[in-house]
Structure 1
């Protein structure tokens, strides 16, 4: 029998661990939340009454590409020669608009186009899920109920403001909308009427979509004139415990430690701080990333996503390819869960096993690797899994 946990009355835990909802009760709860927030228009109430639960959305939430693809797979699927060529064509095609965005918000054209490419394949795929259904379904799911309840209320505010009718709001399974896949809260905080039409339309107006992206990036701290980062080479004796977004050093300090460009040249001297990251572990490429990389991660908190945006922007702007050559064999979600269980059993706290190797899991991996005398790159792979299995077996025989 599954031990009961405290959840909202409309959320039910199943034996499989997935959470389903008494959707009628949850919809009533969302209506109460809207009324408490002062959202009481007939349009909003009609939108709430019309929402439907979509089980497929819960399945997609548990299998996001950041969780099931290796960094190599993720990057290769999103920065292809065709994407680079199309990105360059679109920079030329929308030059006047993109230069205006750069003048107003400090974000170069190649970055706006890179975000556009990753989010909707340059406007080809907005998603076909009714945004209200997506957000209501996720609000009625245990994993991130509070977050998506707030997003649902923000979507209702978009309807209230007259920017879009609820029935016309189509987007991703997670409720992201328009050319740049804004969440409703991002829309309400940062979207702009860049074409002066009297309403904000990030679905049909590239002016509004690009201007809103520039507005959002500027608000998050985009640094004009700075790049996102660069591929680097590390010295043979590099301490991989230093490879973390939590470790920030000046570019000159990294240079003094033997870090060089991907071509082996000295790092350019710069009055900037950066972090070393190795998304595929010690056997893959290394990157020195700067403040704008952190801004990209505020857009999407995935290292694979942030590198892909920066790398696509570089390629669109005419810079070269990543020089490292490496292979990765993906881990199944069940194998990541096994890694997390073994880490916990050995006293390295990785949190509740969920098959998602986030910062807590990577920190626990580093602890184990350090204690075992392995390269402490924090990277989950099959070699790590085998080492953990042996360590658990040894601990059980002592």
Structure 2
């Protein structure tokens, strides 16, 4: 390149560089402006609320010393912008079943869980007697949440909850959790420098949100404190207390893997479509193990649960499955807990049915499908990009209306067709 052309190209490059620098500068200025709004919000909104709940100025100032907005957290909605469905799913519980039930996670939670069952047998037995929650379920939750206390919890809880309380899709929820975290700090429940959390603001070995700590944390070792950071006995007691509060039914299991006949519609799934066990058996549903269902399960309803639609294992679950979901709203989470608990205590193997080649869709793609179904007047549980049971069964019903085989799960082949 010579002469005028070279000069023109150089000029164009210079313009692009300047434009990029200008955009970066504008973004930095915008973030600085939002940061100033955030600091004002802390002083004018959070401090009065915390003070009204008994938090001292010294505790408040210490909590936010050096704390600024964390722009790397998910689901943020800065002032002046509109909420958007994120493309990618950062929370594993709502991603690919194959990845969630990977060999390392399942085997690790099982093997360490068996060790913990021996080491903490006395505490587990005491909590099981007091709450009716089986030790294996408590262990599996503990393992999933914090690797039995071995996983590092990296974030400053006040940075996380401050950021999300100021500008997240569920800002009001996180604002209340922020005030609850300040109350925990004021009361001195946590040891020095232990107010670390997940990216969602969950604390300690059982990963309680601050409000749940205030409601459900329990003293399991008799020292007069509920220390979910350092005490395994308190962690065990707190998890059991939480599940009891949400209605764990003693004597009933969480669920059973089943064979689902081809003529049984996957659209029957859901906690709002429960039936007596005898009704499910009349449809031809049986346990994959060949064993009969326990008699205790004949006294109440059971529910069809298909976390991957027709692309994965099928289950009949009890109300206790949905109690586990009160700990974490994901079907995969509750299934992992039940399955790992069974492996710890009974030595069961993998599910009989494997997971199909599903997952990998953008949340934004699933949200498009959900909005299309909502326009038809269907209840998909919200256009959040997460394929919960309401979305799964409405996809199955759409497939039926379209003359397709109902599989009850969003796939890449549907992108562009259901919109």
How many equivalent residue pairs? Answer: 369
CA distance in 2, matches of 1:78, 1:337: 31
- What is the DSSP-based 3-state SS (H/G/I as helix, E as strand, rest coil) of the residue aligned with 1:80? helix
For residues 96-135 of structure 1, what are the structure 2 equivalents within 5 Å? Answer: 96-135=122-161
CA distance in 1, matches of 2:346, 2:262: 30
CA distance in 2, matches of 1:105, 1:255: 31
- What is the DSSP-based 3-state SS (H/G/I as helix, E as strand, rest coil) of the residue aligned with 1:55? coil
Which residue of the partner structure matches residue 325 of structure 1? 354
- What is the DSSP-based 3-state SS (H/G/I as helix, E as strand, rest coil) of the residue aligned with 1:57? coil
2:34 corresponds to 1:25: no
Which residue of the partner structure matches residue 286 of structure 1? 314
* CA distance 1:39–1:374, shift in 2 (3 Å): farther
Range 324-333 or range 210-219, more displaced: 324-333
* CA distance 1:372–1:217, shift in 2 (3 Å): same
CA distance in 1, matches of 2:143, 2:129: 21
For residues 386-397 of structure 1, what are the structure 2 equivalents within 5 Å? Answer: 389-390=416-417
CA distance in 2, matches of 1:80, 1:235: 28
- What is the DSSP-based 3-state SS (H/G/I as helix, E as strand, rest coil) of the residue aligned with 2:309? coil
User: Do 2:270 and 2:389's aligned partners in 1 also have CA atoms closer than 8 Å?
Assistant: no
* 1:215-235 deviation digits (Å, cap 9, x = unpaired): 111111112222100100112
2:411 corresponds to 1:381: yes
* 1:132-174 deviation digits (Å, cap 9, x = unpaired): 1111111012301111111111111112222126743112111
2:272 corresponds to 1:246: yes
2:239 corresponds to 1:213: yes
The CA RMSD measured in Å over matched residues stands at 2.6
User: Do 2:381 and 2:388's aligned partners in 1 also have CA atoms closer than 8 Å?
Assistant: no
CA distance in 1, matches of 2:192, 2:369: 43
2:324 corresponds to 1:296: yes
* 1:200-255 deviation digits (Å, cap 9, x = unpaired): 21110111111111111111111222210010011221022212222111112111
Range 333-342 or range 277-286, more displaced: 333-342
Partner residue of 1:231 out of 257, 261, 271: 257
Which residue of the partner structure matches residue 145 of structure 1? 171
Partner residue of 1:277 out of 305, 310, 320: 305
User: Do 2:270 and 2:390's aligned partners in 1 also have CA atoms closer than 8 Å?
Assistant: no
CA distance in 1, matches of 2:178, 2:109: 33
State the Cα distance separating 1:265 from its structure 2 match.
5.0
CA distance in 1, matches of 2:411, 2:373: 13
For residues 182-197 of structure 1, what are the structure 2 equivalents within 5 Å? Answer: 182-197=208-223
Which residue of the partner structure matches residue 62 of structure 2? 46
* CA distance 1:362–1:280, shift in 2 (3 Å): closer
CA distance in 1, matches of 2:418, 2:138: 47
Partner residue of 1:336 out of 345, 348, 366: 366
Partner residue of 1:55 out of 68, 71, 78: 71
TM-score by length of structure 1 reads 0.84
Which residue of the partner structure matches residue 64 of structure 1? 91
TM-score by length of structure 2 reads 0.80
CA distance in 2, matches of 1:232, 1:351: 26
CA distance in 2, matches of 1:120, 1:251: 35
User: Do 1:78 and 1:308's aligned partners in 2 also have CA atoms closer than 8 Å?
Assistant: no
- What is the DSSP-based 3-state SS (H/G/I as helix, E as strand, rest coil) of the residue aligned with 2:323? helix
Partner residue of 1:35 out of 36, 51, 60: 51
CA distance in 2, matches of 1:318, 1:265: 15
* CA distance 1:199–1:347, shift in 2 (3 Å): closer
- What is the DSSP-based 3-state SS (H/G/I as helix, E as strand, rest coil) of the residue aligned with 1:323? coil
Which residue of the partner structure matches residue 335 of structure 2? 307
- What is the DSSP-based 3-state SS (H/G/I as helix, E as strand, rest coil) of the residue aligned with 2:247? coil
CA distance in 1, matches of 2:105, 2:151: 16
User: Do 1:243 and 1:277's aligned partners in 2 also have CA atoms closer than 8 Å?
Assistant: yes
Range 312-321 or range 34-43, more displaced: 34-43
CA distance in 2, matches of 1:231, 1:196: 39
2:188 corresponds to 1:173: no
State the Cα distance separating 1:355 from its structure 2 match.
2.9
Computing the radius of gyration over CA atoms, which structure comes out larger, 1 or 2? 2
State the Cα distance separating 1:256 from its structure 2 match.
1.3
User: Do 2:302 and 2:317's aligned partners in 1 also have CA atoms closer than 8 Å?
Assistant: yes
